């Protein structure tokens, strides 16, 4: 009987200790520490800005964050322009933007994606890694039977416009 009582008492004490630890120990991970993987670079830069020790470091991190956010916007806008140029109507463009395709393993998809990487945004450059999130749009276009040459022409047109915009943005500062 004493062995039974001792085991029951130990189990009861361990339960009390566990309950006390759950109430009084801080959680290992706070909810604000959870970040979606595409947003990790942004979160890292935000933390660096908050913990910067000098105004120069803070300014440098803010500039990096601004460039990263602008690059994301340019990528998103460029992909939307490509889709609009490849489709015949705004309705078809919306369908392509919202669809889920299965044409990822086709030869055409691989050809278009490689062309986009070479002409538009090389996702091996950290600044343009978010381009990977938009590649599904090429699979959607291919599934909609948009010719590969039409997609490539849209990529060319959008990338030429981007280069022109960059040149215009840089030229006023040069004297």
Residue 11 is encoded by which pair of tokens?
């189990």
Looking at residue 175, its pLDDT comes to: 36
pLDDT bracket for residue 150 (50, 70, 90): very high
pLDDT bracket for residue 12 (50, 70, 90): confident
Residue 92 is encoded by which pair of tokens?
């078809």
* 56 burial type by CB count under 10 A (0-12 exposed, 13-18 middle, 19+ buried): exposed
Looking at residue 114, its pLDDT comes to: 93
Question: Is the Cβ–Cβ distance between 171 and 134 less than 8 Å?
Answer: no
């Amino acid at each position: 009987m004493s062995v039974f009582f001792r085991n029951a008492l130990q189990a009861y004490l361990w339960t009390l200790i566990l309950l006390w630890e759950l109430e009084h120990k801080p959680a290992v991970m706070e909810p604000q520490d959870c970040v979606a993987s595409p947003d990790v670079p942004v979160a890292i830069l935000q933390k660096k800005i908050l913990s910067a020790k000098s105004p120069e470091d803070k300014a440098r991190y803010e500039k990096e964050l601004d460039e990263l956010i602008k690059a994301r916007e340019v990528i998103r806008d460029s992909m939307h322009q490509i889709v609009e140029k490849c489709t015949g109507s705004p309705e078809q463009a919306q369908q392509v933007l919202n669809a889920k395709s299965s044409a990822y393993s086709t030869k055409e998809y691989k050809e278009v994606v490689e062309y986009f990487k070479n002409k538009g945004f090389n996702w091996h450059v950290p600044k343009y890694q978010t381009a990977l999130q938009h590649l599904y749009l090429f699979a959607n276009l291919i599934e909609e039977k948009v010719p590969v040459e039409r997609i490539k022409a849209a990529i060319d047109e959008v990338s030429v416009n981007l280069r022109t915009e960059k040149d215009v943005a840089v030229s006023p500062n040069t004297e």
